[in-house]
Amino acid sequence: MDNDAKRWLQFFVVAALMMVAFNYLQPKRPLPATSKQRTVAQQTSATGDKTTSATQPTELSAATDQSKLPKPERLTPPEPVDDPAQDVVVETDICKVTFTTSGAYPTRWQIVDPKFARASQSDVEEHQKLTGRLDMKVGDPLPIEIIPNYSGLDKTRDYPLMVVLKETNGRYLDDFNRRTYQVSGLTSSTLATTANIVVNAETGAREVTFVSPESSEGLQLTKTYTFTPGSYLVQMRVTIANIRKNSPQNIDFSEPSQPGLGLMWGPGIGSTHYADATDASAYDVTAYNGTDISYKEFSSWEKVRSKGEAQEQDFSGSYKWAGIESRFYMSAIIPQTGAAPQVNARIKRQHIPNSATYTEKMAPPLTAEIYSAGFTLRPGDSKTLDYQVFVGPKKRDLLTDLDKKTNFDLSKVMFHNSYSLIRWLALFMLKLLSWFHAMTGNYGVAIILLTITMRLITQPFTHIAMKGQAKLTAEQNRVKPLIDAINEKYADDPQKKQAETWKTYREHGVNPLGAMKGCIWMLIQLPIFFALYRLLQMAIDLRGEHFLWIKDLTAPDALFSWSMSYALPFIGNKFNILPILMALSQMVAQQLQSSNIQDPNQKMMMKIMPIMFIFILYNFAAGLSLYWFVSNLWQITFQILMNKRVKEEAERKAHRAFEERRLAAEKGVPFPGKRPGAASATPGSWRDKVVAYIEAKAKEAQAQAEAQQKKKK
């Protein structure tokens, strides 16, 4: 060991000995008093209490027997002792919310509005699974649970309307979510249902205020919730105060990614698990900036627990509101004291149960956090933030009525993750669906009428596509003997075969790209069908609505079921007849269409696709299957009525054009020929472009064939 190493070793040994000696000789200082102890001391001082402290040392006489004194106990820092947590229940005609005084947040949020609080098919199945009883039916009164009760989560889980406070130095102040708050008029002997909740005599609004104990930093938080009868909006006021007026310390909340005071909703919303396959893509965190909605869907979130890392997405800007949405419900926290500069979307590790079986088809435990602008609290200062909180169904009429009164634009959430055209069409068709329901009183009949209406609107496009397909088929049938002869004659010469084929098409006016024209007319209809699909997937209007044997149009139609012990792959334990009827009708419709199709591979594909649809759509909502089945029936009826007529007309036109071109060729009339009295094509029209394309292809093929012949020679 060299001299430098020895000197460093000696230095570290001496420094360590000095630190041990310093700590041993340092006099013991009293532990700092907790906020509760400080409050007691202040009260004692104010009342002039002269009682000696239990921990204050007393003088011992010389005659005192030291051996009889109890051995001194080791002092430990006293933990803050709060009153036991209690529940506070606030109920209106719209909702019933249960708060806990431990954190002043809701642990249950139930929608009791009779227009929506009804059992769905998934509720009935869950009730039968848990209780083994068959005493619940679809449509029975049943409160809707908005806060999911995930199984297997520990005490560190979050709840809606918890606060997020992070000092600029990066330290979280989580005490306000765990300490017991005081409620005006609520004592340890007061039952939750009889708590002294302030009721406004004029409006009937119910108000409850929670006040936190002082935190170790000298902060105090107050939460006030106001519920108005007949409204899904809840007013919330949060006040944070630095109550140590004599303290020189300022407390700053200006962390860039989590500024000011954050308010969260999560984890999740509504049911803990998917009701059916269409639910999977319906969960996301949404944030509205006054113009557009930003949203985040998390994929593969089940791996968060195994990886030990949270999934998150931060939105920076200026947001009017943010929250979580599911297929039928949404929550939105709406700041009233300035726009929110930051919104965070998260899936946290502690919100995912360990059980892989439980997480199968589990709804994602999303959390949305919305933050105020940063601020600093000087001693004696306070900061008050006002919010409106919407928790309710995504019913368009309900949301648009609120928008007219508040200008919150909550209705923007409807079909927000669709393209603008599809969203506009879906909203338009939702109005039609509501109108048909008002007229008939049944949503199943309304879906049928809506489907027929949409088919009538798109029928001209379908008819044009059918005529184009029939025309192409008739023309190809006319030249088929010629093409077969070319294929046989030039079987060993692909270039020559191609050249002669294009030449034959040109001479007889056959457009090989005619099938593309029919596809274009079909593509025009796709936005309408996509919009109708989105509508029937997301409309809460269909929840719990029956039709014929269908108990719930938002669930599979389940004609009957059997034990889960005998569940079948892709099918489960239910016999859903609508997807089967839909597939059979699709096969019939495509069989009628394939009569004009000559390609055997295309015919085979058209037969296989309906069978695949059975397994793909087997567990989809009955409303979607009903729409598809009725649409197929319409297509079959129209195809039968029009097939013969369209086919005969196309063959007649193809025969006439064939003969005219043959006579024109004999008389030496240049291509494409012209009937007496017929107007010539407009220069530069699409017909001229197609003719030019065919001639160019024919010349190209002819040149390739000639070059190949020269090469052989």
User: pLDDT tens for residues 521-533?
Assistant: 667 778 888 888 8
Place of tokens 């496009």: 461
pLDDT over threshold 60, residue 655: no
Helix axes 514-538, 622-667, angle to 10 degrees: 170
pTM value is 0.73
Distance CA 148, CA 271 (A): 6
Question: 44: pLDDT confidence band, cut at 50, 70 and 90?
Answer: very low
CA R_g for the chain: 38
pLDDT of residue 17: 56
- Give the DSSP H or E segment for 347: strand 340-347
**With the CA atoms of 47, 50, 51 and 56 taken in that order, what torsion angle do they form, in degrees rounded to the nearest 10?**
120
Count other C-beta atoms under 10 Å from residue 494's C-beta.
Answer: 13
Cis peptide before 30 (omega within 30 of 0): no
Are residues 146 and 110 in contact, defined by beta-carbon separation less than 8 angstroms? yes
pLDDT of residue 391: 94
pLDDT of residue 652: 61
Question: Which phi and psi angles does 102 have, rounded to 5°?
Answer: -85, 85
Place of tokens 């009153």: 83
In this predicted model, which residue has the larger pLDDT, 43 or 359? 359
pLDDT over threshold 60, residue 691: no
What pairing do the DSSP bridges indicate for beta strands 163-165 and 182-183?
A: unpaired
Distance CA 60, CA 58 (A): 7
Distance CA 142, CA 179 (A): 33
Q: What are the DSSP E strand ranges found in 186-310?
A: 198-199, 206-211, 219-227, 233-242, 251-253, 261-265, 284-288, 293-296
pLDDT of residue 597: 58
CA-to-CA separations, 179 to 33, 104, 253, 267, 371, in angstroms, rounded: 17, 9, 21, 20, 22
> Which residue in 210, 233, 235, 327 sits closest to 273, CA to CA?
327
pLDDT of residue 192: 45
Distance CA 521, CA 711 (A): 45
pLDDT over threshold 60, residue 41: no
How many alpha carbons fall within 13 Å on the CB side of residue 423?
Answer: 11
pLDDT of residue 596: 55
Are residues 173 and 219 in contact, defined by beta-carbon separation less than 8 angstroms? yes
The one-character DSSP state at 271 is -
Count other C-beta atoms under 10 Å from residue 122's C-beta.
Answer: 20
Residue-wise pLDDT tens digits, 66-123? 444 443 333 334 455 566 788 999 999 999 999 999 999 999 999 999 988 888 887 7
Q: Mind spelling out the 3-state secondary structure of 68-129? A: HCCCCCCCCCCCCCCCCCCEEEEECCCEEEEEECECCEEEEEEECCCCCCECCHHHHHHHHH
Rounded mean pLDDT, 313-317? 84
Are residues 302 and 352 in contact, defined by beta-carbon separation less than 8 angstroms? yes
Does the CA dihedral 610-539-432-425 come out positive or negative?
negative
pLDDT of residue 117: 87
pLDDT of residue 424: 92
Burial (Cβ within 10 Å: 0-12, 13-18, ≥19) of residue 280? middle
pLDDT of residue 221: 92
Strand partners, 263: 163, 370
pLDDT over threshold 90, residue 387: yes
CA-to-CA separations, 307 to 155, 310, 359, in angstroms, rounded: 21, 8, 15
Are residues 672 and 505 in contact, defined by beta-carbon separation less than 8 angstroms? no
Burial (Cβ within 10 Å: 0-12, 13-18, ≥19) of residue 368? buried
pLDDT of residue 188: 41
Does the CA dihedral 483-484-485-491 come out positive or negative?
positive
Residue-wise pLDDT tens digits, 533-586? 888 888 888 888 888 888 888 888 888 777 666 767 767 777 888 888 888 888
pLDDT over threshold 70, residue 678: no
Distance CA 138, CA 286 (A): 31
> Which residue in 109, 111, 118 sits closest to 94, CA to CA?
111
Give the chain's end-to-end CA distance (angstroms, integer). 91
Residue-wise pLDDT tens digits, 179-225? 899 987 544 434 444 445 777 767 788 899 999 998 888 889 999 99
pLDDT over threshold 80, residue 45: no
When mean pLDDT is compared across 332-336, 457-461, 675-679, the lowest value belongs to 675-679
Question: Which phi and psi angles does 125 have, rounded to 5°?
Answer: -65, -40
Question: 601: pLDDT confidence band, cut at 50, 70 and 90?
Answer: low
When mean pLDDT is compared across 332-336, 346-350, 413-417, 642-646, the lowest value belongs to 642-646
CA-to-CA separations, 506 to 53, 85, 511, in angstroms, rounded: 112, 88, 8
In this predicted model, which residue has the larger pLDDT, 697 or 398? 398
In this predicted model, which residue has the larger pLDDT, 562 or 689? 562
Place of tokens 């368009």: 396
Query: Which long-range contacts does 412-418 make (Cβ < 8 Å, 24+ apart)?
Result: 412/288, 412/293, 413/286, 413/288, 413/293, 413/325, 413/330, 413/332, 414/538, 415/534, 415/535, 415/538, 416/286, 416/293, 416/295, 417/284, 417/295, 418/530, 418/531, 418/534
Question: Which phi and psi angles does 98 have, rounded to 5°?
Answer: -110, 115
- Give the DSSP H or E segment for 585: helix 577-593
Count other C-beta atoms under 10 Å from residue 160's C-beta.
Answer: 26
Distance CA 226, CA 209 (A): 9
Rounded mean pLDDT, 620-636? 87
pLDDT over threshold 50, residue 269: yes
pLDDT over threshold 70, residue 682: no
Which range of 3-12, 174-183, 689-698 scores highest in mean pLDDT? It is 174-183
> Which residue in 173, 259, 164 sits closest to 218, CA to CA?
173
What pairing do the DSSP bridges indicate for beta strands 382-393 and 560-561?
A: unpaired
Are residues 552 and 544 in contact, defined by beta-carbon separation less than 8 angstroms? yes
Burial 371-410 (b: 16+ CB within 10 A, else e): bbbbbebeeeeebebebbbbbbbbbbebbeebeeeeebbb
Residue-wise pLDDT tens digits, 491-545? 777 777 777 777 777 666 666 655 555 566 667 778 888 888 888 888 888 888 8
Percent of residues in the chain assigned helix, strand, coil, to nearest 5: 45, 20, 40
Percent of the chain topping pLDDT 90: 20
Which range of 473-482, 556-565, 596-605, 632-641 scores highest in mean pLDDT? It is 632-641
Rounded mean pLDDT, 36-46? 37
Are residues 378 and 246 in contact, defined by beta-carbon separation less than 8 angstroms? no
Are residues 112 and 93 in contact, defined by beta-carbon separation less than 8 angstroms? yes
Distance CA 173, CA 252 (A): 12
**With the CA atoms of 363, 280, 401 and 226 taken in that order, what torsion angle do they form, in degrees rounded to the nearest 10?**
10
